[in-house]
Amino acid sequence: MNARRTAFDVLRQVTAEDSYANLALAKRLATAGLDARDAGLVTELVAGTCRSMGTYDAILEEAAGRKLSSLQPAVVDLLRLGAHQILGMRLKKYAAVGATVDLARATVGQRVTGVVNAVLRKVAARDLDGWLDLLAEGEDRIGALAVRGRHPHWIVEAYAEVLPADELEAALTANNVSPQPTLVVRPGLADLGDLDGATPTRFSPFGATVAGSPADQEAVRQGRVGVQDEGSQLVAWALARTPAPEGPWLDTCAGPGGKAALLTGLAREAGTWLLASEAQEHRARLVRQALAGYPDGAAVIAADGTAPAWDRAFARVMVDVPCSGLGALRRRPESRWRRSPADVAALGQLQRDLLRRAIDSTVDGGVVAYVTCSPHRAETVDVVDDVLAERPQARRLHAPDALPDVPDCSLGDDVQLWTHRHGTDAMYMSLIRC
């Protein structure tokens, strides 16, 4: 199977079956039998098309002169792939159009080749900047940034609430760049010297990047080193280094296990242990796999964090709540077009309940880290403000004090990391003294 056909099949899974692009892509590449060059082409076709899908859809509707909903869904995906080759990858126009028409003939049938050819030739009449200029006409500042940054309008509005105006464009641009995988050295199991060609990360003492695939590293294959964004490492480290009484630690939303593994290593070094709780059994199994390298120092249970299954309190509690994921858009290329403001609102009650139970599960003088991989105010500051208003015994700490070497990470008393500033996912953290 060739690269474009493989990319088309993956894109159909994403748009027709709501599959995650990164997972569907990895699964298909594992069995496609492609060489490295073609595998790279498939990755660019899928990730690039998904990342700019809403923008390409607007361009295609202008070029077609009709709504894309009037076309067969498989034809729309063919047009999206063609648009990305013409506008995003800047391949030779006639080659990109011809290859997409051939793909249309092989997948949907001869009858659709005419419309695919006609629409893509109109797309090729302008370059990407020309199309973005056209789409941005008449838009206000936020609307123009959304068009040019290839994000939905509501996400740009959410960023604008918490970022200075002169950083918005850089923040959106950073979301359009695929991240290099970051590795985490698990305390007590490995150190940076166990990695071939490691380059330490800027802020986390546990992080590194390497050339090539993480799976090429023996320490990764042995489970002594994992793959984890530096932002996730930093919030776990901040919790571990904030003064607290002696006693066991708790991770209430532990799946898939990256933070739980780092916290387990840090807890063992502090002479204690971690309870990792995850509501869904299949994700609890992932946590057990992530912790498999540790011979002791952790226990894993499948339990709902809003209805605690434990009968004791903990010294340090991590509550990394389910969220919209708007801080990790660079690694989830389709999610920006799949999410909506309703998704953010729907999570608010669960996020507040999880934080309430986390505070209830903490000893007097203990500390809670409330964490999201979203900078959206409704999932971050607003949640903490509401819950602390109910709990006068709990108080907000100045969280940036726990990350003194990370510049420009303050959001009031909380921490907000940004991809364009720190090179991490846009993680949010509030530290609460109970």
Examine the domain organization and report whether 311 and 410 are in the same domain.
yes
CB neighbour list of residue 114: distance below 8 Å, 6 or more residues apart: none
Amino acid occupying residue 312: R
| Residue 315 shares a structural domain with residue 427 | yes
Angle between helices 73-83 and 3-17 (to 10 degrees): 130
Question: Could you report the per-residue pLDDT of 369-380, keeping only the tens digit for each?
Answer: 999 999 999 999
198 and 319 co-located in one domain: yes
Write the pLDDT tens digit of every residue in 139-152: 999 999 999 999 99
What would the pLDDT profile of 235-280 be if each residue is shown by its tens digit? 999 999 999 999 999 999 999 999 999 999 999 999 999 999 999 9
What number is the average pLDDT over the span 394-421?
98
Report d(CA 290, CA 288) in Å as an integer.
Answer: 5
- Calculate mean pLDDT across residues 100-109: 97
Report pLDDT for 58.
96
Q: What percent of the chain has pLDDT over 70?
A: 100
pLDDT for 333 equals 87
Residues 378 and 266 in one domain: yes
State the amino acid at position 57 in one-letter form. D
Give the integer Cα–Cα distance in Å for 13 and 10. Answer: 5
pLDDT at residue 90, as a whole number? 86
pLDDT of residue 22: 87
Residues 68 and 165 both lie in one domain: no
Give the pLDDT band of residue 313 (cuts 50, 70, 90): very high
Residue 339 three-state SS: coil
Same domain, 305 and 409: yes
Q: What's the pTM?
A: 0.93
Q: Do 332 and 241 fall within a single domain? A: yes
Is the predicted pLDDT of residue 353 greater than 80, yes or no? yes
Picking from 96, 130, 164, the residue at the C-terminal end of a domain is: 130
Run of H or E including 16: helix 3-17
pLDDT classification of 73: cutoffs 50, 70, 90: very high
- Do 195 and 344 reside in the same domain of the chain? yes
Cβ contacts of 211 within 8 Å, gap of 6 or more: 197
Is a pLDDT exceeding 80 seen at residue 1? Answer: no
Tokens of 240: 């571990």
Q: How far is CA 187 from CA 192, 270, 324, 334, in A?
A: 10, 11, 30, 34
Q: What is the pLDDT confidence band of residue 213, given thresholds at 50, 70 and 90?
A: confident
With a cut of 90, say whether residue 33 has pLDDT above it: no
Binding residues for S-adenosyl-L-methionine: 253-259, 278, 304, 320
Judgement on whether residues 97 and 202 belong to the same structural domain of the protein: no
Query: Residues 353, 377: one domain?
Result: yes
Name every residue whose Cβ is closer than 8 Å to that of residue 178 and which is 6 or more positions away in sequence: 47, 330, 331
**How sure is the predictor about 282, in pLDDT bands with cuts at 50, 70 and 90?**
very high
299/411 same-domain check: yes
CA distance 260 to 97: 48
Q: Tell me the average pLDDT of the chain.
A: 95
One domain, residues 407 and 288: yes
Last residue of a domain, one of 146, 175, 204: 175
In total, how many domains does the chain have? 3
How many residues does this entry show for the chain?
434
pLDDT at 210: 93
pLDDT at 30: 86
Catalytic residues: 373
- What CATH number has the domain bearing residue 112? 1.10.940.10
Q: What angle is formed at CA 348 by the lines to CA 344 and CA 354, rounded to 5 degrees?
A: 130
Choosing from 175, 202, 235, the residue where a domain stops is: 175
- For 188-213, b where at least 16 C-beta lie within 10 A, e where not — what string? bbbbbebbeebeebebbebbbbbeee
Quote the CA–CA distance of 146 and 153 in Å, as a whole number: 5
**Where in the sequence is the domain holding 236, given as residue range(s)?**
182-433
Q: By C-alpha distance, which of 311, 308, 315 is closest to 434? A: 315
